[in-house]
Amino acid sequence: MKNNIRINIISQFNQEDKAIIVPILQTNEPTDELEKVAQNFGIDALLLKQDFKADFKEIHVVYSALHQKVILLGLGKNPNTADIIRAFRRLIHEQKTKLPNTVCIDARTLPEAWVEYLVNGCILGTYDVGLYKTDDKANIPLLGNEGTLNIISESKNLEAFIQKGKAIAETQMQVFDLMNAPANKKMPHTLAKWALASGEKYNYSVKVLEKQQLNTQKLNALLAVGQGSEHPPMLIIMEYRSPKATQTVGLVGKGVTFDTGGISIKSSTNMHLMKSDMGGAAAVFGAIELAAKLELPIHLIGIIPACENVVDGKSFKPSDVINSYSGKTIEVIDTDAEGRLILADGLSYLTKNFKVDTIIDLATLTGSCVATLGYHAAGMFTSNDELADALNQSATETGERLWRLPLWDVYKEDITSDIADVRNYSGKPMAGAISAAKFLEVFTDNHPKWAHLDIAGTAFGDTEFAPHRTGTAFGVRLLVDFLSKI
């Protein structure tokens, strides 16, 4: 369902408002806020104090003497921006069929900047994960023609926060759709089509190299991974340039639209989740589109190597030695370590064809990273302390957590090959995320400001918004914050 919610700033609520959300921070003495709520709506203050503690994501519904639905939303203690988004998203997600077409949010006690996050969360709360269900959709008045969100505030400087929160949410929901789409609805050309449409809409350039051009330009690692699929691989090149740009950043995202593991086939237990193996590409798509939408003062290059890794008589095999765009040869030990192969060509293409100040690649790359950090943080690999600090700052600001892991040269032995320049997998049951990062480093042309983000555990996860695992758009807010601060 298309999101056309109108968002207004008003100075106070009125008696005609049928649904009012009151967010409350948890403090040692929340009684003052609850006293105000009780006084404003003619509600028993003692009952409020007994029943509502303002715990994080706590929702408490009461009705005023004028039959208004008053929803108290707990924000917990010291919430970060991701917490604010989650709290409002959960409320709207749970209440969306029960809310009228006009909803008021009393933001008078919140910092102005938090309006961005509450708007973002409210819009995300309307997302419907049932992309291909044929049942009639539930009626959601807030998404109807008259759907309106009124933000009660005494500030007159909220418009920029509102527009940013709305813009990010709209792009995030497109990323959700891409991540949640199954393999038969999402092929390399689907990603290319998305990028071309976004570029045309938001005025940035997009170029797509198809199979013949990949052959001509010798992107052989990407071709090798995709050679078993009936859907040919592609390289998607996006470029947004602000006239105010003083820095150029290159982003490379892994775009494996489905990963069987190839000849080194995965277990069937969770293979269906491998529709999410283009989470790095999705994050780059989101960052590029938002840089253009928000007119960030940056020059941004996005490179997406896109392919399927499937089982076929033409599939590449363990023991193959393949060439790459860099000119280096690669011994294939495991065809399920395919993401680093296509990223190798993506990184080399970026460094050979563009002059960039910073490189960041993102990929749902290794189960090793999930085993290390679980589903709450992505692994960060970089030798540049300044870049690590900047990314960590953005991770803290956005709640999209990163944890720095080593990139020491002692791990080079894991990717040493007897017969080729490098091998794609160590074969060892440990340090898999690190050896993958060391492999990618070979193809960065010794760039002094490169970071690799392994988002395998964070891009697609269990959430309270869907009964099974779903896309999270991890990396989008992180990258936008990072790019905004350069």
DSSP state of 138: P
d(CA 273, CA 10): 44
Q: Please state, in angstroms and as integers, the Cα–Cα distance from residue 153 to each residue in 107, 112, 167, following that order.
A: 6, 9, 21
Q: Please state, in angstroms and as integers, the Cα–Cα distance from residue 326 to each residue in 243, 342, 346, 442, following that order.
A: 31, 12, 10, 9
Q: Which of 86, 166, 293, 340 is catalytic?
A: 340
Query: How big is the chain by its Cα radius of gyration, in Å?
Result: 24
What 3-state class would DSSP assign to 369? helix
Count of CB atoms situated within 10 Å of the CB of 358: 22
d(CA 89, CA 473): 14
336 is in an annotated binding site: yes
- Sign of the C-alpha dihedral computed for residues 431, 437, 439 and 441 taken in this order: negative
In 3D, which of 389, 402, 405, 395 has the Cα closest to residue 480? 395
Q: Which of 18, 108, 241, 266 is catalytic?
A: 266
| Known catalytic membership, residue 340 | yes
Amino acid at 225: V
DSSP state of 273: G
DSSP state of 64: -
DSSP structure string for 384-445: -HHHHHHHHHHHHHHS--EEE----GGGGGGG--SSSSEES----SS-HHHHHHHHHHTTTT
| Known catalytic membership, residue 355 | no
Asked if 71 and 19 touch (Cβ cutoff 8 Å), the reply is yes
Asked if 97 and 15 touch (Cβ cutoff 8 Å), the reply is no
Query: HSE of 427 in the Cβ direction (CA atoms, 13 Å)?
Result: 10
Asked if 336 and 354 touch (Cβ cutoff 8 Å), the reply is no
DSSP run (H or E) holding 299: strand 299-309
DSSP run (H or E) holding 288: helix 279-293
83 is in an annotated binding site: no
In 3D, which of 227, 223, 441, 224 has the Cα closest to residue 321? 224
Asked if 450 and 382 touch (Cβ cutoff 8 Å), the reply is yes
338 is in an annotated binding site: yes
Annotated binding site for Mn(2+): 254, 259, 277, 336, 338
Q: Which residues are catalytic?
A: 266, 340
Annotated binding site: 254, 259, 277, 336, 338
